[in-house]
């Protein structure tokens, strides 16, 4: 959709205008896994949208008026309503827009997806710490912690005997946790799921999903971005453009 | 557990929606072995229904009850308003930890001026929301889910000894007063002396603390 591959807006940039009728805007960053959640849901539900990328290393002043936390993703609709926090944006899109529901209707099944989401919550900071330290310090402790967290997820799939975390078809919880596993694929770290065969199978199944494959991160661009980002380089967010 | 703020959230929702329920209190310092089959880390609250389905994490439990049971909906129907309440909850996330740290510091005779300052800052953020919205409650003119999710920590400010942290936030004080008028909140209000009795025993590491105030 428009803007997904556009240069990011940084400090000193003019605030964007009103969101056109019939579209929803997402403030994003091409390599942000949290924003990826929202983009996946927009794609999966076929929601018309425009993307404005934000330079997270050099944020525009006006962006804090959209989200006081200054983080992406942020949704803005043509009525000027703003929604932030990735999980909240995804749930909002599922509720507000027609078509295929990604969250189950059954209250218990919905609660189960949220409990799995909680189970996953240690992975993002762990994976980021791991990537920061790779090749620099000994990160065997982190590796072990990651294994532990992956084992928890493996246990869910084993117990349920289903391919996906929500059952036999792909649903919200799968999209919410996918972006970090996409990093493993892009960085050729698939060995980290060697001890968790069901998780490995899940990753393979996810790669076949149309929304996932159409938004799949470019491995070279991601590595370039990561190097610059970890050095706090202001150009990181636009790597490859 | 009768004094746990997270479990309090769930009990408020059960009460507000008039959901028939039974309560089993868990001794958190001496957990029964079987309880770990209900929650992997033995935390509360946990809901269990007649189908043996288990739901935990207080916020997830509250949302489940609102979705699964009929009657008055505590979350708004409008998707944007629902999202707003969830965003407000994010704004609140530092409050439980800060109030607990203040309590511990005061009970251990330690200084907590920095902690109280940090807590006051969080309360200022919430004050700003009420000011901007110009409503009594966080969800609008009527009490709703977000108010119940916040309430347990505000009910505890007095017994924790940090009631002065709302001295500079008048809208928040009005909200507290309005909450105390709510029939659901009132029905579950814990007697101050019993709470203090619990806290005294708890900080002496007495395993009977959780049952303080119960006769036999």
Please provide the average confidence, as pLDDT, over all residues in chain B. Answer: 96
Tally of CA atoms within 13 A in the half-sphere of A43 that contains its CB: 19
B63 in contact with A at a CB cutoff of 8 Å?
yes
At residue A143 the predicted structure's pLDDT band, cuts being 50, 70 and 90, is confident
B82 in contact with A at a CB cutoff of 8 Å?
yes
| A-B contacts at Cβ under 8 angstroms | 49
Regarding an ipTM greater than 0.90, the answer is yes
Across residues A54-79, what is the average pLDDT? Answer: 96
Burial class (CB in 10 A: 0-12, 13-18, 19+), A221: middle
- Domain residue spans of chain B: 79-188
At residue A140 the predicted structure's pLDDT band, cuts being 50, 70 and 90, is confident
Please provide the average confidence, as pLDDT, over all residues in chain A. Answer: 95
B50 in contact with A at a CB cutoff of 8 Å?
no
Q: How far apart are CA B38 and CA A90, in angstroms?
A: 29
Written as six digits, the tokens of B168 are 């500079």
Tell me the backbone φ, ψ of residue A82, rounded to 5 degrees: -120, 135
| Domains in chain A with CATH codes | 24-101 (3.40.30.10), 107-208 (1.20.1050.10)
Closest residue on chain A to B63 (Cα): A111
CA B39 to chain centre: 20
In angstroms, the separation between the Cα of residue B5 and the nearest Cα of chain A is: 19
The angle subtended at Cα A79 by Cα A73 and Cα A85, nearest 5°, is: 20
pLDDT at A130: 87
At residue A136 the predicted structure's pLDDT band, cuts being 50, 70 and 90, is low
**A174 Cβ contact partners less than 8 Å away, ≥ 6 residues apart:** A164, A165, A166, A202, A206
Q: How far apart are CA B3 and CA A237, in angstroms?
A: 48
The CATH number of B79-188, from 1.20.1050.10, 3.40.190.10, 3.30.1360.30, 3.40.50.360, is: 1.20.1050.10
The angle subtended at Cα B197 by Cα B192 and Cα B201, nearest 5°, is: 150
pLDDT at A131: 87
Q: Which of A119, A118, A208, A120 is nearest to A163 (CA)?
A: A208
What is the residue-wise DSSP string for B66-96?
HHHS-SS-SS-SSHHHHHHHHHHHHHTTTHH
B134-171 pLDDT, tens digit each: 999 999 999 999 999 999 999 999 999 999 999 999 99
Q: How far apart are CA A175 and CA A165, in angstroms?
A: 10
B39 in contact with A at a CB cutoff of 8 Å?
no
At residue A133 the predicted structure's pLDDT band, cuts being 50, 70 and 90, is confident
Q: How far apart are CA A175 and CA A181, in angstroms?
A: 10
Q: For chain A, what's the residue count?
A: 241
Q: Cβ(A41)–Cβ(A91) under 8 Å?
A: no
Interface of A with B in 70-129 (CB under 8 A): 81, 83-85, 88-89, 91-92, 95-96, 107-108, 110-111, 114-115, 118
Q: Which of B56, B55, B72 is nearest to B13 (CA)?
A: B72
In angstroms, the separation between the Cα of residue A35 and the nearest Cα of chain B is: 16
A104-114 pLDDT, tens digit each: 999 999 999 99
Q: Cβ(A110)–Cβ(A103) under 8 Å?
A: yes
Residues from chain B that touch A118, judged by Cβ atoms under 8 A, are: 57, 60
Order of all β-strands in the sheet with A82-84: A49-53, A24-28, A74-76, A82-84
> 0.90 cut: is pTM over it?
yes
Residues from chain A that touch B58, judged by Cβ atoms under 8 A, are: none
Residues from chain A that touch B37, judged by Cβ atoms under 8 A, are: none
Q: How far apart are CA B211 and CA B28, in angstroms?
A: 11
Across residues B10-37, what is the average pLDDT? Answer: 96
Q: Which of A105, A87, A102, A103 is nearest to A177 (CA)?
A: A87
pLDDT at B118: 98
Q: Which of B57, B80, B90 sits opposite A81 (nearest CB)?
A: B80
**Cis peptide before A73, with omega less than 30 degrees from 0?**
yes
Token pair 């390599």 is found at: A31
Q: Cβ(B137)–Cβ(B143) under 8 Å?
A: yes
B183-213 pLDDT, tens digit each: 999 999 999 999 999 999 999 999 899 999 9
**Cis peptide before A70, with omega less than 30 degrees from 0?**
no
Q: How far apart are CA B184 and CA A209, in angstroms?
A: 47
Closest residue on chain A to B86 (Cα): A88
Written as six digits, the tokens of A27 are 């403030």
């Amino acid at each position: 959709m428009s803007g997904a591959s556009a240069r990011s807006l940084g400090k000193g940039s003019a605030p964007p205008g009103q969101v056109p009728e019939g579209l929803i805007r997402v403030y994003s960053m091409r390599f942000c896994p949290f924003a990826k959640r929202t983009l996946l849901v927009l794609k999966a539900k076929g929601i018309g949208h425009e993307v404005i990328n934000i330079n997270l290393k050099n944020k525009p002043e006006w962006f804090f008026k959209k989200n006081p936390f200054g983080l992406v993703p942020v949704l803005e609709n043509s009525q000027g309503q703003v929604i932030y926090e990735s999980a909240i944006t995804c749930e909002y899109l599922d509720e507000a827009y027609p078509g295929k529901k990604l969250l189950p209707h059954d209250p218990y099944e919905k609660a189960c997806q949220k409990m799995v989401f909680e189970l996953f919550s240690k992975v993002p900071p762990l994976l980021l710490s791991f990537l920061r330290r790779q090749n620099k310090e000994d990160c065997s402790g982190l590796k072990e912690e990651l294994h532990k967290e992956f084992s928890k997820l493996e246990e869910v799939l084993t117990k349920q005997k289903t391919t996906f975390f929500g059952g036999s078809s792909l649903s919200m919880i799968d999209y919410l946790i996918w972006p970090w596993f996409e990093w493993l694929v892009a960085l050729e770290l698939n060995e980290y799921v060697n001890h968790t065969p069901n998780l490995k199978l899940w990753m393979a199944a996810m790669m076949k999903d149309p929304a996932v494959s159409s938004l799949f991160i470019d491995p070279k661009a991601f590595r370039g971005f990561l190097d610059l980002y970890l050095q706090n380089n202001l150009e990181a967010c636009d790597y490859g453009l | 557990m009768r004094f746990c703020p997270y479990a309090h959230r769930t009990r408020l929702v059960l009460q507000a929606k008039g959901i028939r329920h039974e309560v089993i209190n868990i001794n958190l310092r001496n957990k029964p072995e079987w309880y770990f089959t209900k929650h992997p880390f033995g935390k509360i609250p946990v809901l269990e229904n007649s189908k043996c389905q288990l739901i935990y994490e207080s916020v997830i439990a509250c949302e489940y009850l609102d979705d699964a049971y009929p009657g008055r909906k505590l979350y708004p129907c409008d998707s944007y308003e629902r999202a707003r309440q969830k965003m407000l909850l994010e704004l609140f996330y530092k409050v439980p930890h800060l109030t607990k740290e203040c309590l511990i510091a005061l009970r251990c005779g330690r200084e907590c001026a920095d902690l109280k300052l940090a807590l006051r800052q969080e309360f200022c953020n919430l004050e700003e929301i009420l000011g901007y919205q110009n409503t009594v409650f966080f969800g609008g003119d009527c009490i709703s889910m977000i108010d119940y999710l916040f309430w347990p920590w505000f009910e505890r400010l007095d017994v924790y000894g940090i009631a002065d942290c709302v001295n500079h936030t008048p809208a928040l004080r009005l909200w507290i007063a309005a909450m105390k008028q709510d029939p659901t909140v009132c029905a579950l209000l814990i007697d101050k002396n019993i709470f203090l009795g619990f806290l005294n025993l708890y900080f002496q590491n007495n395993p009977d603390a959780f049952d303080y105030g119960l006769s036999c």
